[in-house]
Amino acid sequence: MSAPQARTRREFGRPLNFKRGVIELSHGSGGRAMAQLINELFAKYLANPWLEQGNDQACLELPAGRVAMTTDSYVISPLFFPGGDIGSLAVHGTINDIAMSGARPLHLSAGFIIEAGFPLRDLKQIVESMAGAARAAEVAVVTGDTKVVERGKADGVFINTTGIGVIPAGLHLSGDLAQPGDCILINGTIGDHGVAVMSERTELDFEVSVVSDSAALHDLVRVMVAAAPQIRCLRDPTRGGLATTLNEIARQSNVGMVIQEAAIPVLPEVSAVCELLGLDPLYVANEGKLIAVCPPQHAQSLVDAMKDHPLGRKSALIGEVAADPHHFVRMRTAFGGSRVVDWLSSEQLPRIC
């Protein structure tokens, strides 16, 4: 592939300096600098037939069936954290939102808003990671956009991804379908992502070896709907944690829930960090977890199928849907009492009292 390289050089002058270069306003202004950034970075790493066409849009042929579509913007500090970065996160998060409908995710778009002065080396690392995540998930980033804002008007990089997927015929999952008596399942330990991100924030100043659970869950979902097509709903408990997602489903389905504290998987390190900072793991973010609600007679075979998948080894049945006009999510504590598990009220802050 030496010919395109040579042509690149002629078209744009010197290649981008990924060692010491930084993003400048011209990289977002629609001129030659932007074309060079797209050519030498985005198109190169995210390469696929749609991007290669170089059009302002991707023209897609979709398989038959209902189409699921979602969009999400990623703003995270720090941009790099144990177990991932904003690039892989922007792929996993949107794939997961598609997958929670039971759909097979097919295509993504990616919009970047970059702060002037951002190191090209970091941007390259983010794009490479994004490309790796998309490749592993067999999903293509088929169209994109880049904007550069003045220094101080953004926090490094913001990414928006939109995704589409196709739902297999006959499958209907929705947050309003939970019924009293249904079982609630989760595919592993909660709070890993939030704690991994917090551990990189210098002002909190603690060390822990927990890595983010950031992962694309569509293959696990494929296995799950094959094992139990009767699943009522799936949802990924990201921001706001397990507690907030359970409350969302309870309200949507007009039901209550009763969960068992002792059944919810939590890593000891995550418990310890939460103890230290006065946080509750139920409200700490996840990026590779899903909650499934299914009729009780299918719960066991579903858990078994989940445990056979690499992303579901620590799956557990954590509670049941109950009739409750107040939509309370209640928790039977390991101590033997019970309490409400409420919505998250704004971001959890470390506390001293």
SS (H, E, C) 208-254: CCCCCCCCCCHHHHHHHHHHCCCCCEEECCCCCHHHHHHHHHHHHHC
Q: Does 330 interact with other proteins (rule: CB under 8 A)? A: yes
Is the Cβ of residue 125 or residue 271 nearer to other proteins in the bound state? Answer: 271
CA torsion through residues 167, 172, 178, 180, sign: negative
Smallest distance, other proteins to C-beta of residue 336, A: 4
- Single out the segment in contact with other proteins by CB under 8 A; choices: 14-22, 82-90, 114-122, 338-346: 338-346
Kindly state the DSSP code that residue 70 receives in the 8-state scheme.
E
- Contact map string, positions 273 to 292, toward other proteins, x by CB under 8 A: x-xxxx--------------
Q: Does 310 interact with other proteins (rule: CB under 8 A)? A: no
* 99 close to 165: Cβ distance less than 8 angstroms: yes
Smallest distance, other proteins to C-beta of residue 324, A: 8
- Give phi and psi for 351, each to the nearest 5: -130, 165
- Single out the segment in contact with other proteins by CB under 8 A; choices: 50-58, 106-114, 145-153, 341-349: 341-349
243/161 Cα distance (integer angstroms): 25
* 177 close to 253: Cβ distance less than 8 angstroms: yes
Q: Does 59 interact with other proteins (rule: CB under 8 A)? A: no
Residue numbers 192-221 binding other proteins by CB under 8 A: 203-209
Q: Does 62 interact with other proteins (rule: CB under 8 A)? A: no
Given the rule CB under 8 A, which residues bind other proteins? 203-209, 262, 268-269, 271-273, 275-278, 326, 328, 330, 332-340, 342, 345-346, 349-353
